[in-house]
A and B are shown apart, each in its own frame.
Chain A
């Protein structure tokens, strides 16, 4: 290991890194409700169009 003055921080160990990968992988499931909200927003626009302007 090279030693010198810096704000260097070694990475956490393999257990933490694997947990982080698992956490990040699980976090991608949030894309589903996020996309659902975005689709719902589009749905509201289409509903307004259908109700008032079709």
Chain B
């Protein structure tokens, strides 16, 4: 073999490796397409056929730390649920609050005797799971409770939501039911509008798909209903060893052979973070929790079982696509840039194939989301139009309609890109998917500065909300690799949620 042949072999091998790198970026696209195309199948595969009018005795456990501003109204609203009062008990577990939470709850206990109970923990700050377990332990001491609802202090249940959840527990195969957590801040800003849209995509859309696929990834922390049997089967307590207690509870339920059902018509309003910093802390906690879950259930992934669907290929694909999305984005960029530098014709082909696929998936999911919650998406139309990020949309435009950005647009101004200019623009487009995460990181960094008020929202609209979430997931990798302390960090709530 001469030097020329050896060089050709090296280039060939390198091209294949780089194509594989680009291909990793296609996996999340395929996974998202597969998931979202499963949504309409919920018309055939849903749990309503096995649901029945069923109103078990429900104990509601509410962890509360300094919730004095919201807890009173929350209790009043829960007492107004369309549910028999003699089958409803509220246990507010006061996690050593230092505000007026104990006074408010005690007053409500007097107002609703036999329905509202104040449980006080003198040693607080250990996290939500510890607080919940304090209440659950007392609730399980007698056999009154037939179903347990775990919720947050500040969320608002629509009056029919609880009975719409309990009807699924009429089927003994169901262990737990989750509701649709809908962003409900009355003074929405750009970020809460993005979160509102994200929740439409991740709940009435994606969780319907998970109903169809037969495996749910996570019960909503603010709205999870368990049958007593299920609660006892998973140990009668919530996991306290990680930051992902909701996901672990969801997995344990399914590993024990019980179904988890998502009820899209039980609507629960919740206040979500209004700043990038607060969102970053919340999602970092979730992302680091998911690292624990991924490691803990390493013997479950991609191992189909007759007991549950968590080991199915489709569920594994969905889980790992989300968890490893930032890595896929970076590898994809490396692959495209490598192919460009090798002057491979494959670069343009795979770039266009991938980004056209991304554009189609985004178009389908957003068009469907708009119809699944039209009331909310009317209020978030700006975020619907810019959800992938304005710059990412330009990249999609370049892939979908080649020539528009690099030829037609400059020609309007009598300009023509030079060869070097075209190379520079192409390079920028290929690395964009990774660079967008840096843009999101920058948005957080400048948020509290004088220009942050304008620059941070502008950056998020430019790079996309998805890139912000990916940047947070990337940060979770770094924190895990560094072995940074994983501590419970409560998301600050201010009582902005409104019915």
Closest CB in chain B relative to A27 CB, distance in Å: 8
Instruction: List the A side residues contacting B80 at CB < 8 Å.
Output: 6-9
Q: Fill in one digit per residue for B60-84: 1 if any A CB lies within 8 Å of its CB, else 0.
A: 0000000000000000100111111
- Contacts A37-B371, A49-B400, A52-B401; A4 near B42 (Cβ below 8 A): no
Is B402 an interface position by the 8 A CB rule? yes
Of B282-290, B356-364, B458-466, the one with at least 4 CB within 8 A of chain A: B356-364
- Contacts A9-B80, A11-B84, A21-B167; A2 near B115 (Cβ below 8 A): yes
* Residue among B37, B163, B371 with the highest chain A CB neighbour number at 10 A: B371
B114, A2: Cβ atoms closer than 8 Å: yes
B43, A28: Cβ atoms closer than 8 Å: yes
Closest CB in chain A relative to B58 CB, distance in Å: 12
A11, B367: Cβ atoms closer than 8 Å: no
Instruction: List the A side residues contacting B46 at CB < 8 Å.
Output: 25, 28
B48, A25: Cβ atoms closer than 8 Å: yes
The docked-state distance in angstroms from the alpha carbon of A29 to that of B365 is 18
Q: How many residues on chain A are close to B (CB under 8 Å)?
A: 38
Contacting residue for B76 out of A6, A24, A52, CB 8 A: A6
A31, B163: Cβ atoms closer than 8 Å: no
Q: Which positions 80-132 of chain B face chain A at CB distance < 8 Å?
A: 80-86, 111-115
Instruction: List the B side residues contacting A4 at CB < 8 Å.
Output: 111-113, 115
The docked-state distance in angstroms from the alpha carbon of A44 to that of B389 is 21
Tally the A-B contacts, defined by beta carbons under 8 Å.
Answer: 111
* Residue among A11, A24, A53 with the highest chain B CB neighbour number at 10 A: A11
Interface size class of B (residues with CB under 8 A): 35 or more
Closest CB in chain B relative to A38 CB, distance in Å: 4
Q: For residue B263, which residue of chain A has the nearest CB?
A: A24
The docked-state distance in angstroms from the alpha carbon of A17 to that of B371 is 26
Is B159 an interface position by the 8 A CB rule? yes
Of B14-22, B49-57, B409-417, B439-447, the one with at least 4 CB within 8 A of chain A: B49-57
A9, B111: Cβ atoms closer than 8 Å: no
- Contacts A34-B40, A42-B360; A17 near B167 (Cβ below 8 A): yes
Instruction: List the A side residues contacting B159 at CB < 8 Å.
Output: 9
A25, B401: Cβ atoms closer than 8 Å: no
Contacting residue for B112 out of A2, A10, A24, A48, CB 8 A: A2
Q: Fill in one digit per residue for A6-36: 1 if any B CB lies within 8 Å of its CB, else 0.
A: 1111111010011011101101111110110
The docked-state distance in angstroms from the alpha carbon of A52 to that of B298 is 48
Instruction: List the B side residues contacting A41 at CB < 8 Å.
Output: 363-364, 367
B85, A1: Cβ atoms closer than 8 Å: yes
A45, B48: Cβ atoms closer than 8 Å: no
Contacts A8-B81, A9-B159, A34-B40 aside, 17 further interface pairs with beta carbons under 8 A come to: A2-B86, A2-B114, A2-B115, A8-B85, A11-B82, A17-B163, A17-B167, A37-B371, A38-B364, A38-B365, A38-B367, A41-B363, A45-B363, A48-B401, A52-B401, A53-B400, A53-B402
- Contacts A10-B84, A52-B401; A31 near B39 (Cβ below 8 A): yes
* Residue among A5, A6, A7, A8 with the highest chain B CB neighbour number at 10 A: A8
Contacting residue for A11 out of B52, B55, B360, B400, CB 8 A: B55
The docked-state distance in angstroms from the alpha carbon of A25 to that of B113 is 37
The 10 A-B residue pairs whose C-beta atoms are closest, nearest first, are A17-B53, A25-B48, A38-B367, A35-B40, A38-B368, A7-B80, A14-B53, A34-B371, A11-B82, A31-B40
The docked-state distance in angstroms from the alpha carbon of A7 to that of B112 is 12
The docked-state distance in angstroms from the alpha carbon of A34 to that of B43 is 11
User: Can you list 9 A-B contacts (CB < 8 A)?
Assistant: A1-B85, A6-B80, A7-B79, A8-B79, A11-B163, A38-B367, A42-B367, A45-B400, A53-B402
A34, B42: Cβ atoms closer than 8 Å: no
Is B30 an interface position by the 8 A CB rule? no
Q: For residue B403, which residue of chain A has the nearest CB?
A: A53
Instruction: List the A side residues contacting B401 at CB < 8 Å.
Output: 48-49, 52-53
Instruction: List the B side residues contacting A10 at CB < 8 Å.
Output: 82-85
B112, A6: Cβ atoms closer than 8 Å: yes
Is B486 an interface position by the 8 A CB rule? no
Q: Which positions 143-176 of chain B face chain A at CB distance < 8 Å?
A: 159-160, 163-164, 167
Instruction: List the A side residues contacting B52 at CB < 8 Å.
Output: 18, 21
The docked-state distance in angstroms from the alpha carbon of A5 to that of B401 is 64
Is B372 an interface position by the 8 A CB rule? yes
Closest CB in chain A relative to B266 CB, distance in Å: 10
A35, B84: Cβ atoms closer than 8 Å: no
